[in-house]
Amino acid sequence: MKIIEDYLNNLYKNDDSKEAKELKEELKEHLITSVNEFISQGYKIDEAQKKAIEQFDDGSDTTTELRSIYTQKIDIRKEKLKKLRKLRWTFVNITGWLIGAAFFAAYQNLQNIVPTWLIILISSSAIVLIILSILISMTNKKIEGN
């Protein structure tokens, strides 16, 4: 079904994401079903493929709408990734300030002891940084489709 393959490849060119592959496979199954119906009506295979594509597109911009929905989904993930990255930088700053405060507290203290609460805050901030980095990595993989 070369005509259908070419049509779908053109529809999703330069997009190797998981979502695009899934949608492409779903559309392919739908189009093949339509092709088989046209063949049973007496059309030759090439004509049946062209008719199936015409019926699918039918001038109503269906493919454009599908592409728009898919793009919106990706845009939402990119926005989430942007927010996660911004939040991570905020915690990098907080952690830096806390470490600075720990050095200052140790310097001011005659025994060079950092308060326990400050150590707990630094540790908590570091854990949040690790979690944010994992979330960013996972979101990035979803966008790339790996």
Pair 40, 83 in one domain: no
Q: Is residue 20 part of a domain?
A: yes
Q: Is residue 69 part of a domain?
A: no
Pair 54, 83 in one domain: no
Q: How many CB atoms lie within 10 A of CB 103?
A: 11
Closest to 69 (Cα-Cα) out of 108, 19, 1, 105:
19
Give the three-class secondary structure for 108: helix
Pair 107, 53 in one domain: no
pLDDT tens-place string over residues 89-137: 999 999 999 999 999 988 887 778 889 999 999 999 999 999 999 999 9
What's the number of domains the chain is made of?
A: 2
pLDDT value at 146 more than 60? no
Pair 55, 102 in one domain: no
- R_g (Cα) of the chain, nearest Å: 27
Q: Is residue 115 part of a domain?
A: yes
Residue that is written with structure tokens 């300030």 in the block = 97
Q: Residue 20 belongs to what domain range?
A: 2-60
Q: Is residue 30 part of a domain?
A: yes
Contact in structure between 131 and 91 (CB atoms under 8 Å): no
- HSE toward the beta carbon, residue 75, CA cutoff 13 A: 6
Q: Is residue 72 part of a domain?
A: no
Q: Is residue 118 part of a domain?
A: yes
Q: What is the pLDDT of residue 95?
A: 94
pLDDT tens-place string over residues 34-90: 899 989 999 888 888 888 888 877 655 555 666 666 666 667 878 888 999 999 999
Pair 48, 10 in one domain: yes
Pair 91, 52 in one domain: no
Pair 84, 53 in one domain: no
